[in-house]
Structure 1
Amino acid sequence: MPQPPAVESPEWWRDRLYAALCKRTEQTNVYDAYYECEHPLPFLHEKAREPFRRLLKMSRANYMELVVDALVGRLEVAGFQADTLDAGGGADDRAWALWQDNNLDGGSQLAFLEAAIRGTSYLMVSPPERGRAGYRITPEHPTQVITEARPGSPGDLAAALKLWLDDWNGRLCCTVYLPGNIYKFDAPEPLAGGKPAWVRRAVTGEEWGGKNTLGEVPFGELANRPRMLKPGASELRSVTGSQDRINKTIADRMMTQEAAAFPQKWATGMEIPVDDNGQEIEPFNIAVNKILIAEESGAKFGSFPAASPEGYLKAAEADVRDIAAITSTPPHYLLGSMVNLSAEALKAAEAGLIHKIYQRRRFLEEGLERTMRLAGIASSQARIVWKSPEWRTEGELVDALVKMSTLGVPREVLWERWGATPQEIERWRRLNEEALQRAMAGDLAAEYGPKPLEEADVDLQVE
């Protein structure tokens, strides 16, 4: 029987992290399915399930996507700003150039989205190679990457695993990252539930177990709503049950519409005719332009009232409001109803969402700052600047800034409060300096330049 690998050996980390990654992926696949509107079909009795399958599929109203997008849509990095005034803007410019060079305007949004859905995502830092001048930063999916910190030191990553399936050769590949070295393995794609038969993966021009030039595990973890002893969690963790209730209510409403939304007519006191085979014949051909007539004197006609969907609509709305309350999502985002809402009412409705965004950003910043530090930008030199998540009218904002200016607040701070990025602020500062220099040059020319000739002098010169 083969001996288990030694603790903290590359093989030990490979097996340990692979098992943890598979377990986490299985758990978070549920939330990914809810975000993609692949909800479980509402419950029905087996005999009724097949005839109503089309209605069941139509009953899925995806509020989970709205909950996630309301958060992620306001998580946007605007730039980087030095903590000290004497930094000269160099750290800002280097950080922003690195950010743009790696297309992280969009890449960061992808990472934030996966973190909100599955609880965590990653940014990977690769050293310069193949003629590339700067570091490479790539967003990584949480089903392909997992990290582990040293016991008792949450910020000190001990190892990481990156896993992927090579579609070209059908082999499962993984790379183990340790602070000192990098180890690569591959295996035939295992059967469902099977354990891969790993072997060392040889790469042309590379030594197996090559040196990790960064000297650290090259990942920044973007955790969503983590706890002290628990990892990041999905924004959907507490509301999937509410989504299921909504789907069930909609399914019941649609079946009611299908079977009882139209008044059903009845008749009594009359004989039902039969055909030659003794089968009953429907006595009336009911239509809008026809009336019902019976020859029997005791015949009576009537109709059952149509079923009202009002109860179903109220039940679904109550569950939607539960989702809004639990996730701090403004109710009008989910219900789509805005009737005579003042600016103050809208601001109050979004207060919970704004607070949640600020809270989520604190933990995301930890992973972003680690990523930039691994890429050579010290977090003490350039801090992350986010775009404001608050939406205010232009009149409100201008009025507030004018009042702040009377208190002696520097104009650069006012520009920042306006929402300008650090790059825009630097450009505006330069434009102001150039305008001031032109104005000073014009004043000097007016003071010390050639004087205009008086009228008497002009007459003398003419004579």
Structure 2
Amino acid sequence: MIQPSSTSLAQQLLSILNRDGDRLHRIDDYLHGRHDDPYMPPQADDEYRLLARRSVSNWMPLLVNTPGQALYVDGYRAGDETGQGSATNLSSPQWEHWQRSRLDARQSAIYKGALTYGHSFTLTERAKGTVLTKGLSALRTAALYEDPANDDTPYAALTVTAWPSGETPGTARMWDAAVEYKVTFKTPADEQSVRVAPVGRHGASECPVTRFAASVDLEGRTVGVVEPMIALQNRINQTIFDLLVAQTYASVKVRTVSGMAPPVRRDPETGEVVYDEQGNPIPLPINHNAKRFLFAEDPDVKFGSLDETPLGGFIDSIDMSIRHLSAVAQVPPHHLLGQIANLSAEALQAAETSLSRMIQEFRTVFGEAWERVFRVAAELEGAGAVDDFKGEIIWRDMEQRSLAQAADALGKLKEQLGIPAKGLWKRVPNVTQTELDEWDDLADDEDSVRQLTTALNRATPGPERELGAETAA
């Protein structure tokens, strides 16, 4: 492959941001509740437009947060020389880098960015003598791959640090396999305004930017969970708008009267009818409400009513659309509808099977990305785990199970299958890697004390042995 110039790389990366900008900003708008207006007549008044704004029922954050809240890295098991994973401990360089970068709290934003836009990025760099990893937004960052469907290492990446404002040009940082560059530009679409200046070597043998992609097809396209749901979200908003219109204008009975003339204005002195400029009597306003009755002396006057519009059909339509959203997004219906009554534990587990499979897929692809982050960090730190392709990310088990159920199941695994108790520790609900390391140390101390006690008992004769010796004598 012919290596393009740094200016050409910057132009390509900025053109990617310019090309995808409208699509990504549309996704961002839907995530934050800035949806397209539902259909309404062109002559709609302000009251209609107010109902349109109130009809937005934003389900997108729930679709992102439901799988995102089940993604939590709890440890890292480094590969040893034999290919067998060794347990992570607090002193491992990978976990020290994780804690130093404060990724316990920051990892969630990286996952949710990938789930929202289809991809997000991390940057691993040496800052003030310390190697740290931080997240980069898909709205500001682009990367180039020789094979975007299969490569996990980009040959160049760029992130915008400041967008252009007036006469002030925009600025960006760019990395290739060896050097970091500073980029300035007037607009992402103006290739002639791009200026590139090298900053220095970044210290790694490959681009230090890592892509976290929720789903990548064989064409290298990334898709999140928001974009495919926009059409269903619009359908829900339209149905809620129709419900609000019917509820506002047609949800109550309308009383009618025919053959009755309204009272007219009369001169207070003469009692004669007052006419307007066109010669028509001026009617008086009628103060009518639910506490008042209308009556007429004329027998030809007829009273009637118009029935209200039933709202049940609108409510059923909303419920159906939400169920369609649930099926397409692989989110259990009770997460969206809040209906969990009369559901057994087996039914709940079956309902969450699809969600569990989706979460497991995300863990697999995100885990590979984190393993690359650790390799890049190890190279920058000069550690010995640069080529550790046997490491494994440990994800926290977020399934809700009672401690009693877990203890019973783990006890049966130990007794019936002979699995060592130490091998089952990590399956205890909500146990952290720090606790596992502490248990390991306590178990070693306890084992040492037990061995010492056994040795002393064998070396020192007890009362029973002494009594036996005297009886024999």
Quick check: TM above 0.5?
yes
Contact 2:147 2:220 (8 Å CA) reproduced: no
Q: Deviations over 1:344-389 (max 9, x none)?
A: 1111111100000111222212221111111114443531001124
Contact 2:73 2:395 (8 Å CA) reproduced: yes
C-alpha distance in 2 between matches for 1:336 and 1:451? 67
**CA shift in 2, pair 1:421/1:60, >3 Å:** same
Superposition deviation, residue 438 in structure 1: 2.9
- Summarize the alignment of residues 106-121 of structure 1 with structure 2, pairs less than 5 Å apart: 106-121=105-120
Kindly indicate whether residue 420 of structure 2 is the aligned counterpart of residue 410 of structure 1: yes
Superposition deviation, residue 397 in structure 1: 2.1
Other-structure match for 2:468: none
C-alpha distance in 1 between matches for 2:301 and 2:90? 93
Other-structure match for 2:100: 101
SS of the residue 2:252 aligns to: coil
SS of the residue 1:124 aligns to: strand
Structure 2 residue corresponding to 1:242, chosen from 224, 227, 232: 232
Other-structure match for 1:459: none
Other-structure match for 1:304: 306
Superposition deviation, residue 117 in structure 1: 0.4
C-alpha distance in 2 between matches for 1:59 and 1:422? 46
- Summarize the alignment of residues 12-91 of structure 1 with structure 2, pairs less than 5 Å apart: 12-84=8-80, 87=86, 89=88
Give aligned-pair identity as a percent. 24
**CA shift in 2, pair 1:7/1:372, >3 Å:** closer
AA aligned opposite 1:231: R
SS of the residue 2:155 aligns to: strand
Structure 1: where are the runs of 5+ without partners?
A: 1-5, 202-207, 453-463
Aligned length: 439
Kindly indicate whether residue 408 of structure 2 is the aligned counterpart of residue 399 of structure 1: yes
Contact 1:91 1:381 (8 Å CA) reproduced: no
C-alpha RMSD over aligned residues: 2.9
Other-structure match for 1:272: 262
SS of the residue 1:215 aligns to: coil
Superposition deviation, residue 107 in structure 1: 1.6
Structure 2 residue corresponding to 1:130, chosen from 128, 131, 140: 128
Structure 2 residue corresponding to 1:281, chosen from 270, 280, 283: 283
Other-structure match for 1:460: none
AA aligned opposite 2:155: A
Superposition deviation, residue 250 in structure 1: 0.9
Kindly indicate whether residue 215 of structure 2 is the aligned counterpart of residue 225 of structure 1: yes
Q: Which moved more, 1:441-450 or 1:409-418?
A: 441-450
C-alpha distance in 2 between matches for 1:40 and 1:253? 17
**CA shift in 2, pair 1:103/1:87, >3 Å:** same
Other-structure match for 1:432: 443
C-alpha distance in 2 between matches for 1:279 and 1:35? 57
SS of the residue 1:78 aligns to: strand
- Summarize the alignment of residues 199-218 of structure 1 with structure 2, pairs less than 5 Å apart: 199-201=195-197, 208=198, 210-218=200-208
**CA shift in 2, pair 1:303/1:228, >3 Å:** same
Q: Deviations over 1:63-114 (max 9, x none)?
A: 1111111110101111111345585757972211110100111221111011
C-alpha distance in 1 between matches for 2:147 and 2:441? 50
Other-structure match for 1:422: 433
Q: Which moved more, 1:228-237 or 1:390-399?
A: 390-399
C-alpha distance in 2 between matches for 1:89 and 1:234? 32
Q: Deviations over 1:206-236 (max 9, x none)?
A: xx35234202011111001111113221102
AA aligned opposite 2:117: R
Q: Deviations over 1:11-64 (max 9, x none)?
A: 110101110122123211111111111111112112115332221111111111
Superposition deviation, residue 451 in structure 1: 7.0
C-alpha distance in 2 between matches for 1:78 and 1:393? 20
C-alpha distance in 2 between matches for 1:348 and 1:125? 40
SS of the residue 1:79 aligns to: strand
Other-structure match for 1:383: 392
C-alpha distance in 2 between matches for 1:166 and 1:61? 32
SS of the residue 2:342 aligns to: coil
**CA shift in 2, pair 1:292/1:145, >3 Å:** same
Q: Which moved more, 1:439-448 or 1:220-229?
A: 439-448
Q: TM-score, normalised by structure 1?
A: 0.87
Other-structure match for 1:313: 315
SS of the residue 1:123 aligns to: strand
SS of the residue 1:150 aligns to: coil
SS of the residue 2:180 aligns to: strand
**CA shift in 2, pair 1:282/1:421, >3 Å:** same
Superposition deviation, residue 298 in structure 1: 2.3
C-alpha distance in 1 between matches for 2:23 and 2:212? 18
Contact 1:25 1:142 (8 Å CA) reproduced: no
- Summarize the alignment of residues 447-458 of structure 1 with structure 2, pairs less than 5 Å apart: 448=459
Superposition deviation, residue 309 in structure 1: 1.4
**CA shift in 2, pair 1:64/1:267, >3 Å:** same
List 4+ stretches of structure 1 deviating above 6 A: 166-169
Other-structure match for 1:171: 169
Contact 2:143 2:156 (8 Å CA) reproduced: yes
Superposition deviation, residue 166 in structure 1: 6.9
Contact 2:119 2:138 (8 Å CA) reproduced: yes
Q: Deviations over 1:236-255 (max 9, x none)?
A: 22211111111111111111
Other-structure match for 2:363: 361
Structure 2: where are the runs of 5+ without partners?
A: 266-273, 379-384, 464-473
Other-structure match for 1:340: 342
C-alpha distance in 2 between matches for 1:170 and 1:400? 64
C-alpha distance in 2 between matches for 1:240 and 1:31? 8
SS of the residue 1:26 aligns to: helix
